[in-house]
């Protein structure tokens, strides 16, 4: 189910597996709760600081949503030469989906309406199981699919 009327969400529902899409939706939703400020913007890089907006402390205590209290300050660095964005939280490197901080930067600062393929790891896509692998002898092998993982792995080596 789409929660946010963004083209980005509509794109990813067709790309990611169901489980990964749900994680992506959480990050996308949380990105809307963030605010940011440009610290450096030159011809080499942009440095952008992102943090979750602070709710009124009284409201937060009433709703018992400590999760809504401010995050640590995160730093987004965009390398303009390679056009790569990275975040100090390293969630993209760890989990394989763009974190809320990166999404905030890409959507609200860069005005992305579609996620670039460099931020979509093939292993989390619906088409990941259709990847062909090459055996050492150069023979194509389909993904193991329903066969036992050990049998499939043994055929690889």
Q: Looking at the structure, do residues 121 and 153 belong to the same domain, yes or no? A: no
Of the segments 6-10, 18-22, 139-143, which one has the largest average pLDDT value? 18-22
- 70 is a domain residue: yes
Flag whether pLDDT at 152 surpasses 70. no
Flag whether pLDDT at 48 surpasses 50. yes
- Domains in the chain, number: 2
Task: With 0.95 as the threshold, say if the pTM is over it.
Answer: no
Mean pLDDT within 51-64: 63
Flag whether pLDDT at 146 surpasses 50. no
In whole angstroms, what is the distance from residue 24 CA to residue 124 CA?
11
Cα Rg, the chain, nearest whole Å: 20
Q: Looking at the structure, do residues 119 and 148 belong to the same domain, yes or no? A: no
In whole angstroms, what is the distance from residue 32 CA to residue 135 CA?
45
In which domain, by residue range, is 18 found? 7-126
- Encode pLDDT of 89-134 as tens digits: 999 999 999 999 999 999 999 999 999 999 999 999 998 875 555 5
Q: How many CB atoms lie within 10 A of CB 148?
A: 9
Per-residue pLDDT at 144: 44
- 148 is a domain residue: yes
116 CA to centre of own chain:
11
Q: Looking at the structure, do residues 24 and 100 belong to the same domain, yes or no? A: yes
- 1 is a domain residue: no
CA neighbours within 13 Å on the CB side: how many for 94? Answer: 6
Residue of 19, 16, 13, 12 whose CA lies nearest to 1: 13
Per-residue pLDDT at 15: 94
In whole angstroms, what is the distance from residue 114 CA to residue 9 CA?
8
């Amino acid at each position: 189910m789409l929660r946010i009327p963004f083209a980005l969400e509509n794109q990813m529902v067709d790309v990611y597996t169901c489980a990964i899409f749900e994680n992506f939706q959480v990050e996308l939703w949380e990105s809307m709760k963030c605010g940011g400020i440009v610290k450096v913007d030159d011809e080499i890089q942009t440095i952008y600081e992102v943090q979750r907006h602070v709710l009124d402390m009284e409201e937060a205590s009433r709703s018992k949503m400590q999760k809504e209290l401010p995050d640590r300050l995160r730093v987004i660095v965009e390398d303009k030469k390679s056009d790569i964005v990275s975040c100090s939280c390293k969630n993209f490197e760890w989990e394989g989906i763009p974190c809320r901080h990166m999404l905030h930067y890409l959507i609200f600062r860069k005005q992305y309406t579609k996620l670039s393929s460099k931020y979509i790891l093939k292993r989390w896509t619906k088409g990941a199981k259709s990847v062909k692998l090459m055996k050492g002898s150069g023979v194509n092998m389909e993904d193991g699919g329903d066969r036992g993982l050990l049998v499939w792995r043994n055929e690889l080596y």
